[in-house]
């Protein structure tokens, strides 16, 4: 016997969509980023509640229909688990949005901000009611304030965090791109400082913009777990709390962060569902009580950080109610942030402050084992040069003693020449023996002594090679004497 879902099932699903999810000729369902999104009256959302609601509607819809087999005999209509599996699969195929609709869903129009109950247009500074043609999945958890206001608690917050005018401007610019879900700046916002200095309040404000459903906390194992990446889908903000970069940080995690800030598509592998490419639009906020003590190859990630330094006067007691008082002014924070957004874009996303730059330089210097080797074991100077291969071999020994990953020679040369741009260069010369060798110019190893203009012959560094034989001798230094057995080699 033929079951009812073996007949014109596409037609059945299309009729259901037309009767329940079509308004003014528009379908109010969309299959985006591996999930079915339903228009709930204000915006499109994907949730278990929406799926259960659709299943209830389908169950009622099936009861109104009659199915027959080839002989025209009626078939009993029951909704089995297999039926719903086929139903949702067909529903997803029929609700795949076009490219023009995808642009609307991804909110390319930065002139509109979708509040909890109404939309706000920046250019006109006017509010607009929601309608289903405003296809948007990302909605703020608060409405925008109707008038400009700077509550007194803002001044108290900045004074407690000891922020000057430059830092306050950077703070507002960062809030503006977070509210507008703009990650084209390709930066990571890193908050660090003393406990009770304002880091948690800032992170709480960023989280409150979108509510729990729009924010996800990134676990450190997300880069190596193929199914854990699903936490970023549909999120407007990603947070990492109490982060500590050290030599145990997974390289996959670093690559994951690079993909996020580089606006690269990320392959999502959900359980029991097909793999799909996702274009994240979320900003990343990291908080820690200390500057990260990273050991390893960051592959340029260090230049992506925007360090926000929070300080607290230890002589003053912390105001435990300051966070809640700041959250009470969220509509005004949103309004000022979105009005600051055009100026942020016009400035070229200038988030850096003098204090933040100093912290990033210190972090960058200590982050890479390649840069640490140059700073600790080499000297810069005009006219200096040294053999590239021998520098790299010593670097490998240095990295081994430090317990660090040893990059290849090409990676080593690229990283130090990029970081010390204009100081270190590479060229090929002929030695006295006629052998063509590669040298790094503008630098020499500390034990080499004076300027070396020709890489051959090469003196042996002290303490690296022991002599083949030692004769018996005695050295007199003042009143003290020592024999060959007392001399360490």
Burial 93-116 (b: 16+ CB within 10 A, else e): eebebeeeeeebbbbeeeeebbbe
- Distance, in Å, from the CA atom of 29 to the CA atom of 344, rounded to the nearest integer, reads 35
Q: CA 124, 127, 131: angle at the middle one, nearest 5? A: 120
Name which of 259, 302, 304 is nearest 415 in CA terms: 302
Q: What is the pTM of this model?
A: 0.72
- Distance, in Å, from the CA atom of 395 to the CA atom of 409, rounded to the nearest integer, reads 10
CA distances from 109 to 123, 177, 402, 413 (A): 11, 14, 50, 43
Which helix (H) or strand (E) segment holds residue 192: the answer is strand 188-193
- Distance, in Å, from the CA atom of 89 to the CA atom of 463, rounded to the nearest integer, reads 71
CA distances from 417 to 148, 295, 421, 443 (A): 50, 19, 5, 11
The count of residues in the chain is: 489
- Distance, in Å, from the CA atom of 419 to the CA atom of 412, rounded to the nearest integer, reads 11
Domain 152-364 top-level CATH class: alpha beta
Q: Over its length of 489 residues, how does the chain's per-residue pLDDT go in tens digits? A: 344 445 577 888 898 899 889 988 888 999 888 888 898 888 888 888 888 888 888 888 877 776 666 677 776 666 677 778 888 888 888 998 888 888 777 665 678 888 988 899 888 889 988 888 888 888 899 999 999 889 999 999 999 888 999 999 999 999 999 999 888 898 999 998 888 888 889 999 999 999 888 899 887 666 667 677 888 888 899 998 877 666 566 667 777 788 888 777 888 888 777 888 888 888 999 888 876 665 555 556 777 889 888 888 777 777 889 999 999 999 999 999 999 999 999 999 999 998 888 877 777 666 678 888 888 899 888 888 888 999 999 999 988 887 777 888 988 888 888 778 888 999 888 776 777 888 999 998 987 654 444 444 344 344 433 344 444 444 444 444 444 344 333
What is the location of CATH 1.10.10.10 in the chain? 368-489
β-strand pairing of 188-193 with 215-217: unpaired
> What CATH topology corresponds to 368-489?
Arc Repressor Mutant, subunit A (1.10.10)
What is the location of CATH 3.40.50.300 in the chain? 152-364
């Amino acid at each position: 016997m033929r079951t009812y879902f073996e007949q014109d099932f596409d037609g059945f699903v299309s009729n259901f969509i037309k009767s329940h999810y079509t308004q003014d000729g528009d379908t109010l369902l969309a299959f985006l980023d591996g999930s079915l999104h339903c228009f709930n009256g204000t915006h499109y959302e994907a949730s278990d509640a929406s799926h259960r609601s659709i299943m209830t509607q389908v169950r009622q819809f099936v009861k109104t229909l009659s199915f027959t087999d080839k002989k025209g005999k009626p078939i009993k209509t029951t909704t089995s688990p297999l039926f719903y599996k086929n139903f949702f699969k067909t529903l997803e195929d029929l609700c795949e949005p076009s490219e023009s609709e995808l642009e609307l869903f991804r909110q390319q129009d930065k002139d509109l901000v979708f509040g909890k109950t109404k939309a706000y247009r920046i250019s006109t500074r006017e509010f607009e009611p929601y309608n289903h043609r405003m296809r948007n999945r990302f909605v703020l958890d608060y409405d925008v304030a109707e008038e400009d206001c700077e509550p007194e608690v803002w001044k108290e917050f900045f004074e407690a965090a000891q922020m000057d005018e430059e830092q306050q401007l950077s703070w507002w610019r960062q809030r503006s791109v977070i509210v507008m879900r703009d990650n084209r700046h390709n930066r990571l916002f890193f908050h660090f400082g003393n406990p009770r200095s304002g880091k948690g309040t800032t992170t709480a404000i960023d989280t409150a913009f979108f509510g729990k459903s729009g924010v996800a906390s990134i676990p450190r194992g997300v880069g190596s777990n193929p199914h854990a990446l699903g936490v970023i889908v549909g999120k407007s903000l990603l947070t990492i709390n109490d982060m500590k970069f050290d030599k145990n940080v997974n390289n996959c995690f670093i690559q994951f962060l690079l993909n996020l800030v580089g606006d690269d598509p990320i392959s999502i592998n959900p359980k029991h569902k097909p793999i799909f490419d996702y274009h994240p639009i979320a900003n990343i906020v990291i908080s820690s009580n200390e500057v990260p003590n990273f050991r390893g190859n960051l592959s340029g990630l260090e230049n992506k950080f925007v360090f926000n330094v929070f300080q607290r006067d230890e002589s003053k007691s912390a105001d435990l109610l300051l966070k809640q008082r700041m959250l009470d002014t969220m509509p005004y924070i949103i309004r000022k942030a979105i009005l600051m957004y055009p100026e942020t874009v016009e400035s070229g996303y200038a988030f850096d402050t003098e204090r933040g730059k100093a912290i990033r330089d210190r972090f960058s210097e200590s982050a890479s084992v390649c840069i640490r080797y140059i700073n600790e074991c080499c000297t810069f100077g005009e006219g200096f040069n040294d053999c590239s291969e021998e520098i790299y071999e010593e670097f490998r020994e240095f990295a081994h003693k430090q317990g660090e990953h040893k990059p290849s020679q090409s990676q080593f040369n690229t990283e130090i020449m990029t970081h010390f741009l204009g100081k270190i260069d590479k060229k090929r010369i002929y030695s006295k023996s006629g052998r063509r060798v590669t040298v790094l110019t503008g630098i020499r190893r500390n034990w080499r002594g004076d300027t070396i203009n020709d890489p051959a012959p090469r003196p042996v560094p002290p303490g690296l090679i022991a002599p083949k034989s030692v004769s018996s001798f005695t050295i007199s230094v003042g009143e003290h004497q020592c024999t060959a057995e007392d001399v360490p080699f």
